[in-house]
Amino acid sequence: MTMRKLPKLAVTATLLLSAAFSGEVSASSIEVALFGEPPTLDPMLYTSDAASTIDQHIYETLYTFDSKWQVAPLLASALPTLSDGGKIVSIPLRTDPVFHNGSKMTADDVIASLKRWTRVSSRGKLAGDVIESITSPKPDLIEIKLKTPFAPLLPLLASNNAAAAVMPKALTETDQAVTEIIGTGPYKLLERKPAQYTRVVRFDEYKSPTGAPDGYAGERKVSIDEVRFIPVTNAATRVAGVISGQYAFAEVLPNESYAQLQSAKGVKPILVTPTSVTFMVLNTKGGQTANPKIRLAMQAAMNPADMLTAAFGDPKFFQVDGSIFGKGTLYYAPDQVKGYNAADTKKAAQLLKEAGYSGKPIRLLTSTQFDYFYKQTLVMKNNLEEAGFKVDVQVSDWASVMQKRTGENEWEGFIASHSFTPEPSLLTFMSPTYPGWWDTPEKRKALDEFNSEVDPNKRVERWKAVQSLLYEQASTLISGQFFALIAVSDKLQGSYPSPWASFWNVKLAD
């Protein structure tokens, strides 16, 4: 099927889909093409980006992030005060927020929501391990008592992935997915048909935080009556739909479509910042990469520039940069990348000899479902073979890759990526339970020092030590940074190009 035929099909799909919507059509509405379908609209259970994008319109958290990715108040009325060496966190609450069921938010709702979050959310469990109690000394204040100072608490409370969303206390008793979707956000749920659409409409009783809009922080003004989030799993269909005008916004678009989007009328392509990071996770627990010199040899052989070029093509879509966090972010650390982009076959061969390499193949898991994973893996195979490795690339569907990588003796490496997160502790490969299982005494010490440091400036320095150690131990091999491509209709004014698209403080052109 050619791309020229797709716009016509997309218009036909629009008519069919519009006919499927039940209820009245709003005075102003937009359709948003998402990469996939959220598993649920429970804001706590998953780190699904599709769920997070929708849920942030329905639910709110105590804190959020401004345009500089600093924590800012949302349902809280101010930043917290710390006492007892950082072990008591006092959070003042706004008294005006209203739930979609008409009830006012109280401290009891907040406490119950946070306790559920620590039980059911992957993010919340990180905080739950260090939380001793959550109480309310007075109606407009909650107090979180920690076992030890824990600096990631605020970013965790601000995250919209597996979020610490506030909901009515009565809905927090279940650890299963909530069935009543009720928050304090600028939109409320109207209708959801899984695999078809999710409709949210303006909440007329919404109480916005104050201040100038700044990233996700500040005033949230709603000008669009209805947003329809539609899962569109085929990338070409997302491209065709945004060009035809069916979608006001489309995400996760292929780089090959950039020129077509740029030349199309009424739509503009945007490269989202901050960047995402792509990398090869190495098995530090089993297989041949349990030997650190094997890992260092792989790091020396790796040619990130070639890998990124194969994966993303035009240099405007990527950056050959070994920092885990990209330029312009708080934790950008370009100097703590010793060993990055060496592409040194001789050094790799020498390390391989010192490691006592037996010639047994290095097993690399990959899937063609993620083209940029697969292409990087093939380049890495060539890099390793030039250094004297034998390599076995095992291709399967991504679900099988995820299953196989749980076996500690089944593989040596796999390519993956991580969308931007404002808090380093949330990086998957930092967890000792994530496949790869990086968990040395040095790593635990460095990460504990980072997590217990409450001074923001000192935290930056602590993070540099963690990143340096990752390179020294070659637990994860960073390829570099890349940009996500989205497209926005010219009719949608004020759209903020961020990792999770938001549709407050935007309007449709007259």
Map residue 392 onto helix, strand or coil: strand
How many angstroms separate the CA atoms of 173 and 405, rounded? 34
Q: What is the reported pLDDT for 431? A: 86
Q: Which of 94, 117, 118 is CA-nearest to residue 107?
A: 94
Q: What is the reported pLDDT for 292? A: 97
Together in a domain, 240 and 324: no
Beta strands at 88-92 and 141-146: parallel, antiparallel or unpaired: antiparallel
Q: Which of 309, 292, 307, 305 is CA-nearest to residue 412?
A: 292
Together in a domain, 392 and 458: yes
Q: What is the reported pLDDT for 454? A: 83
In a domain, 1, yes or no: no
In a domain, 428, yes or no: yes
Residue numbers of the domain that contains 428:
275-484
Overall number of domains in the chain: 2
Q: What is the reported pLDDT for 496? A: 66
Together in a domain, 241 and 294: no
The answer to whether the pTM exceeds 0.75 is yes
Q: Which of 232, 101, 225, 123 is CA-nearest to residue 167?
A: 101
Q: 3-state SS of 218-283?
A: CCCCCCCCEEEEEECCCHHHHHHHHHHCCCCEECCCCHHHHHHHHHCCCEEEEEEEEEEEEEEEEC
DSSP bridge pairs for 278:
417, 480
Together in a domain, 320 and 257: no
Together in a domain, 125 and 199: yes
In a domain, 430, yes or no: yes
In a domain, 215, yes or no: yes
Q: Domain with 421 in it: what CATH number?
A: 3.10.105.10
Together in a domain, 203 and 331: no
Q: Which of 56, 74, 79 is CA-nearest to residue 64?
A: 74
Together in a domain, 355 and 396: yes
Q: What is the reported pLDDT for 35? A: 86
Q: What is the reported pLDDT for 156? A: 93
Together in a domain, 56 and 168: yes
Together in a domain, 297 and 386: yes
Q: Domain with 146 in it: what CATH number?
A: 3.40.190.10
Beta strands at 187-193 and 197-202: parallel, antiparallel or unpaired: antiparallel
Q: What is the pLDDT of residues 448-474, one digit of tens each?
A: 999 989 888 899 999 999 999 999 999
Q: What is the reported pLDDT for 23? A: 44
Q: What is the reported pLDDT for 24? A: 47
Together in a domain, 197 and 306: no
Together in a domain, 338 and 252: no
- The residue count for the chain: 510
Together in a domain, 284 and 227: no
Beta strands at 226-231 and 197-202: parallel, antiparallel or unpaired: antiparallel
Q: What is the reported pLDDT for 26? A: 55
Secondary-structure percent of the chain, ordered helix, strand, coil, rounded to 5: 35, 20, 45
| pLDDT beneath 50: ranges in the chain | 1-25
How many angstroms separate the CA atoms of 164 and 172, rounded? 12
